[in-house]
Structure 1
């Protein structure tokens, strides 16, 4: 098949492209390189079945595809809050453009939505029928509400125009190729420890998250795309850890002498986050297989090859 991946040079998108290329598909990658990086897809650039287009999806584009994986959007607070208007435009105008393309060429469309649509949840764990507790005017709303609107658009195109859609609600994902300065908790802890800095825990560290390794997530996305269920379907790891437990796990793995310091909790930061993956298990036959310790080990090894040393010297192969 000819498959379009928006945001394909990003963390999750590039791992998805690896799988699609290895399966023999023709892949078109669209990315504006706001948070993506060409090094993530370097090995495919000369492949006859791979095409890279530098393009911002807030502008229309015309091409042919059988499937569209719509992943393009800054997904970490540091990046989506840096230019919140751009973030909401990517979620709304970008999704409109991609759904319009899916309608024209009759492609199946998968939206990479997010657990952030549940906000700071009052229901735990979060199942797909929970409608969320989101602050519509807070600093995170450009992303939270943007993805909620993207889901609305997808279902409206499905109902009104018979576009085949799939909606994945992605929970915390980590692994190789995470951006060093993305502000996500796993990358923060790993980078801080490798650089000999204290690990920064916000609040008292009792807030919880669930961490899914990227290869597991990609498998879930592909099963959703190629299955018969529209969704939304939660994709994430149901094992729940406190932020302090994660900090201690990274500390033990990288530098047992590293200090852990505490800072105030950011506004609207969710206190608890864990997916109910009953639907993913029953409808897709999917559940995560990579344990946190194993995933962290692979993630640390990847960061160790890329991140500045405590003296601030980058490895020669790294260019940010």
Structure 2
């Protein structure tokens, strides 16, 4: 799955070349055709897919359980049918198992609450790093094409980690559970953000425009960038690819595997919502997303992600230990 996404990302990131040397019409036409082609196996093979009929909407009951649990001094057992009947004379339509499923889902979602900071930093590859590349010598490569380094890195590192590193550690009895994997991913992305800070500082130290790239008179109407190579960005995208394998892949698996059967859709929705929250957090950094404040912005992001890395490991590492005792990877 990850390799397929990275292969598609590689092809998608090549469209800036089509835009530069042919035109926007071809750059948009190819993705449009690709989307229609992708529909063919879905339509042709629809009879071979497992199609589960939708069940009733559990959200009203989930909200009621949470409300009763909060009213019971934040104890979810207070929402169980016998407790509600005994303390309030109230008949409720759910069972003890339903409340236990919600408790388990909440425990799973605790781990996911730090991911908005991860997404905040990871999403820099889709916006500010493109602008950063535009301030550097690109050797005729469109600055928004540098993202292709991330796709190439993903194609290379994903099979090495998933087919090489993980089996190697398993054979030698080394426990490398989901919390450990996600913590490593957070750490790698933290180092990538620190490196990004250094690269931005180097840009500001290079002429001709120093800390106001492309805007001084020496830039010749924004045609002469600061004299520093765009290929210094490659380690940033390589680190992002590593973080994607360790964090995002593991996070998706963790959210699905740890959620009770009746709550899988809900927990997956919460997991995806973390990306949206991360995008919203980016709005707070808008005043810093301009020269000469970019070094400060990247440094703050590095600090935030570093703190989130420490919290993730400190608060949840025992979950890996408990699963190891139960024989669960």
TM-score w.r.t. length of structure 1:
0.25
Query: Which has the larger share of helix?
Result: 2
Instruction: Determine which structure has greater relative contact order: mean sequence separation of CA pairs < 8 Å that are 6+ residues apart, divided by chain length.
Output: 2
Q: Which has the larger radius of gyration?
A: 2
TM-score w.r.t. length of structure 2:
0.24
Query: Which has the larger share of strand?
Result: 1
